[in-house]
Amino acid sequence: MLLPSPDRGPDPHEGRRAAVGILDSGCGEHPWLTTVVRDHPNLVGTPVCPESALVRDPEVHPDQHGPLDGMLDAVSGHGTFIAGVVRQSAPTADVYSWRVVASDGAISESELVAALAHVADLVHANVDDPTAGLRLDVLSLSLGYYHESPEDPAHDAMLRPVLHALAADGVAIVCSAGNESTDRPLFPAAFAAVPSPGAPVLAVGARNPNGTVALFSNTGDWVSCYALGASVVSTSPPFEGGLQPLARIPETVDADGRLRECRETVDPDSYVGGFAVWSGTSFAAPHLAGLLATGLAAAHGELPRHTDTDKASATAAQVAAQLLDR
């Protein structure tokens, strides 16, 4: 770690911090996230999705699929990395992170709907009683699926109403567009192209550090915008996989008796330093989600504890429009 964690700023006097929710593989321990990633009383000890309780935490156990192959699983550390992206683009915000996918990234549509419905219920409870529910301003979703028959009107009968319920309660939803270099609609991101009441639903593709669209990024008229998503640096659990440095000279003692320390190239799957470099629209989405949360905090000063859904939705739409204009 070369730099200190981003400054949280002073605690609010009467209002609250902006809040970003993440449904992903959970969040591991990291110094940047210890005081930022929150537990909600109604969720402590209760998995968002019951199926997620049947697998071990991929932010703690990174090699569950093929445990003898020495390779880290595909999305181990994914949720921690995403939380760190939000931490960087929204330094003053609170983060709520829920585990809904395993270390291979798999989640069924029914599991996703159940998880979103659970969060939507908590958010809706907060509308009438700020002490009873959960206040979210932005929800970041770095997951998705391709529907076999998107032209069938029934294809969105389960997922779309839940997203609309969250948006109607003032929660902006930011979804990753996918990494298959296709214009085929990925859901839930593709719902961004369908007008809905309430706060905006946005689909985010990935840009390279030089500003060009990343070759891996999905695209199409259903993608709302593009944000930095290639060669992103963010937080990681201190995992160490089975890959080895390309070249290594072991510790030796030369002819004069001097100790020569071990020298080696960078270990490609060692994250013991707490940080990693990763690419994907999975990281463009939380980047924009964090910017949106930062914009909401700036627009409100301190965000109110009681939810005026119409005002929250209008402000989210205004801030999102300003970000998209950039």
Among 74, 76, 88, 85, residue whose Cα is nearest residue 25: 76
> Is residue 234 a contact partner of residue 88, using CB atoms and an 8 Å limit?
yes
Q: Please report, as a single letter, which amino acid is at residue 326.
A: R
Phi then psi dihedrals of residue 50, to 5 deg: -55, -35
- DSSP, res 103: T
User: Catalytic residues, which ones?
Assistant: 24, 78, 282
Q: Please report, as a single letter, which amino acid is at residue 245.
A: P
Buried b (16+ CB within 10 A) or exposed e, 178-210: bbeeeeebbbbbbbbeeeeebbbbbbbbbbbee
CA distance 264 to 269: 14
- DSSP, res 187: B
CA distance 107 to 88: 27
* DSSP codes of every residue in 238-269: --B-S---S-EE--EE-TTSPEEPPEEPPPTT
Q: Which two tokens stand for residue 38?
A: 């929150």
Q: Which two tokens stand for residue 210?
A: 């030089």
> Is residue 96 a contact partner of residue 22, using CB atoms and an 8 Å limit?
yes
Buried b (16+ CB within 10 A) or exposed e, 73-111: bebbbbbbbbbbbbbbbbbbbbbbbbbbbbbbbebeeeb
